[in-house]
Amino acid sequence: MTTPKTPRIPIAKRIFDYLLILVFSPILLPLLALTSLIVAISLGRPVIFRQERAGYQGKPFTLYKFRSMSDARDKHGNLLSDEKRLTRFGRFLRSSSLDELPELWNVLKGEMSLVGPRPLLVSYLERYNPEQARRHDVLPGISGWAQINGRNNVSWEIKFELDLWYVDNWSLWLDLLILLKTAAKVITREGINQPGNATAQEFTGTPKD
């Protein structure tokens, strides 16, 4: 019985990512610096939010984002809900996707790509069915096929179907198309949140038939 081969990360994809970051660095670096300053003034420190996410082949890594929530607490010292801690400025960061900029460091480290399925919580790993788990056969991305086809306004099952379509149909042309459509989505701020939620609802697993 042969052991299934571990999918490899295409070298062309990594070169594509590095070249785009290099080309746009004169814009990205000042934008990163300015956003860092405004986050520090508006929300305080730490400026960067860190969270463990599942990456390529499900391997955990630390994801970096700009902080978008306050540390507001109730009278018992407990943090308030995400909805109440998400400030007006924080909403702007998310709707403009500026909070994602620090993930460029994850790209440079080889933990992420500019395009791929979004990296989700490590706790979700045990909740995927075998088919859904294939979304980890490629590097996670800052944007992806699911993000330009509904973002947080579609169900988890549909998101995973879109992720798997990307896994099976990847090409540099597809990555370029996704990045161009991502820019359009950011401009229109379409599909950022699910109604009544600060972010996407938790994935609890796909019900079995």
d(CA 157, CA 204): 11
What is the reported pTM?
A: 0.87
* Residue-level pLDDT, tens digit, the chain, 209 residues: 455 566 778 899 999 999 999 999 999 999 999 999 999 988 888 999 999 999 999 999 999 999 888 766 766 667 666 677 778 888 888 888 899 999 999 999 999 999 999 999 999 999 999 999 999 999 999 999 998 987 667 889 999 999 999 999 999 999 999 999 998 888 776 655 444 455 667 888 877 65
Displacement of CA 162 from its chain's centroid (Å): 15
Question: Which phi and psi (to 5°) does residue 54 adopt?
Answer: -90, 125
Q: Are 148 and 166 in contact (CB under 8 A)?
A: no
Predicted local distance difference test score (pLDDT) of residue 93: 87
